[in-house]
């Protein structure tokens, strides 16, 4: 079955899907995106993801491509046409196509919208949950508006590639003062020796992950104490557990940082119980 993509009003075969050569997303990374998980035929946390999309567009004075009702319809249609039961959809909006010029294009230039979807193998995630992952730390080198979910991800790409080349799977950005920022595509959490769940505030300096927000709801239901404050690398190294949250991985244990084990070097129980409860508590929208 060939995959189907939605591009500016049309459902097209993905192998033939294309955007304009002068699209501003392509030339300037002048675009924003969302990735949302689909599990057992349900879209997870759609409202929060679309709220964040609205915010990203607003922060960059970018036009809404369509109403929320229409967008929801198209997302579901793309998932249906690709027969996704477990997987993700990827949605991208750019400032449109226009003759290359740094200034915004003329008012009324239609935004470009593309939506793709793919199935993922739950066994791959299960393996990550069972074994945990290894990460490296890298110096924070991103601009200070990473709270906007733009497609300008070059530092994230380079960090992940560096991780791969050193035998790890992912990377964590750390600022000059040694404060843990976030992963290259996820938020970072630790469980302190006192059993508190710690994550840094998300008002600035990181992307406010949707999974992070929902995890706070989950922790409340499980009577776990969540503290939002900054923490340093040494505090992370001394943690009982370290884990990532993101829509694609939900809650992934980190068992090694820069070649050193976290606790006994095995995934912890807190991240596991949060993951088990997550899907029940998150918002679910049927395809
Ligand atoms: N931080 C960054 C840099 C990310 O790319 C992501 C994943 N989109 C996240 C955090 C986690 O966000 P979410 O839980 O909404 O997927």
Q: What is the pLDDT of residue 257?
A: 98
Encode pLDDT of 171-204 as tens digits: 999 999 999 999 999 999 999 999 999 999 999 9
What is the pTM (predicted TM-score) of this model? 0.97
DSSP annotation string for 99-168 = SS-SSPPPTTPPPEEEEEEEE--HHHHHHHHHH-EEEEEEE--S-TTTTS-BS--HHHHHHHHHHHHTT-
Q: What is the pLDDT of residue 187?
A: 98
Percentage of the chain exceeding pLDDT 70: 100
Q: What is the mean pLDDT of residues 120-141?
A: 96
Q: What is the mean pLDDT of residues 255-281?
A: 97
Q: What is the pLDDT of residue 54?
A: 98
Q: Mean pLDDT in the chain?
A: 97
Virtual torsion, Cα 191, 194, 196, 200, nearest 10 deg: -70
Residue 23 scores a pLDDT above 90? yes
Percentage of the chain exceeding pLDDT 90: 99
- The pLDDT-based confidence of 1 (bands split at 50, 70, 90) is confident
Encode pLDDT of 24-61 as tens digits: 999 999 999 999 999 999 999 999 999 999 999 999 99
Looking at the chain, which residues constitute the CATH 3.30.470.10 domain(s)? 4-120
- The pLDDT-based confidence of 10 (bands split at 50, 70, 90) is very high
Looking at the chain, which residues constitute the CATH 3.20.10.10 domain(s)? 125-286
Please list, in sequence order, all residues whose beta carbon lies within 8 angstroms of the beta carbon of residue 8, skipping any fewer than 6 positions away: 19, 110, 112, 113, 114
Q: What is the pLDDT of residue 2?
A: 87
Distance from residue 249's CA to the centre of ligand 1 (Å): 10
Distance from residue 102's CA to the centre of ligand 1 (Å): 27
Superfamily of domain 125-286: D-amino Acid Aminotransferase, subunit A, domain 2 (3.20.10.10)
Residue 103 scores a pLDDT above 90? yes
Q: Does domain 4-120 have CATH number 3.30.470.10?
A: yes
d(CA 203, CA 172): 18
Please list, in sequence order, all residues whose beta carbon lies within 8 angstroms of the beta carbon of residue 36, skipping any fewer than 6 positions away: 43, 44, 45, 46, 49, 75, 88, 89, 91, 247
Q: Say if residues 60 and 141 touch (Cβ distance below 8 Å).
A: no
Distance from residue 106's CA to the centre of ligand 1 (Å): 32
Is the distance from the beta carbon of residue 242 to the nearest atom of ligand 1 less than 6 Å?
Answer: no
Based on the residue annotation, tell me whether 149 is a catalytic residue of this protein.
yes
């Amino acid at each position: 079955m060939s995959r189907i993509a939605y591009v500016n009003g049309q459902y097209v075969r993905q192998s033939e899907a294309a955007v304009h050569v002068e699209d501003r997303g392509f030339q300037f990374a002048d675009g924003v995106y969302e990735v949302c998980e689909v599990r057992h035929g349900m879209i997870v946390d759609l409202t929060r993801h679309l709220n964040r999309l609205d915010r990203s567009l607003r922060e960059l004075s970018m036009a809404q491509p369509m109403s929320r009702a229409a967008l929801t319809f198209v997302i579901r249609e793309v998932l249906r046409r690709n027969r996704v039961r477990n997987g993700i959809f990827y949605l991208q909006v750019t400032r449109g196509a226009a003759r290359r010029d740094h200034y915004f294009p003329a008012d009324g230039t239609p935004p470009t919208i593309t939506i793709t979807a793919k199935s993922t193998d739950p066994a791959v995630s299960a393996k990550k949950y069972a074994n945990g992952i290894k990460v490296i730390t890298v110096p924070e080198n991103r601009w200070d508006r990473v709270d906007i979910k733009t497609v300008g991800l070059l530092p994230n790409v380079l960090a992940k590639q560096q991780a791969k080349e050193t035998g790890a799977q992912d990377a964590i950005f750390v600022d000059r003062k040694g404060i843990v920022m976030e992963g290259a595509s996820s938020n970072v959490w630790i469980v302190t020796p006192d059993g508190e769940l710690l994550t840094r505030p998300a008002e600035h300096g990181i992307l406010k992950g949707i999974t992070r927000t929902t995890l706070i709801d989950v922790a409340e239901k499980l009577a776990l104490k969540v503290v939002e404050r900054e923490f340093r690398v040494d505090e992370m190294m001394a943690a009982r557990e370290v884990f990532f949250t993101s829509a694609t991985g939900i809650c992934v244990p980190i068992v090694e940082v820069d070649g050193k084990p976290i606790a006994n070097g095995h995934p912890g129980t807190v991240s596991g119980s949060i993951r088990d409860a997550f899907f029940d508590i998150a918002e679910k929208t049927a395809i």
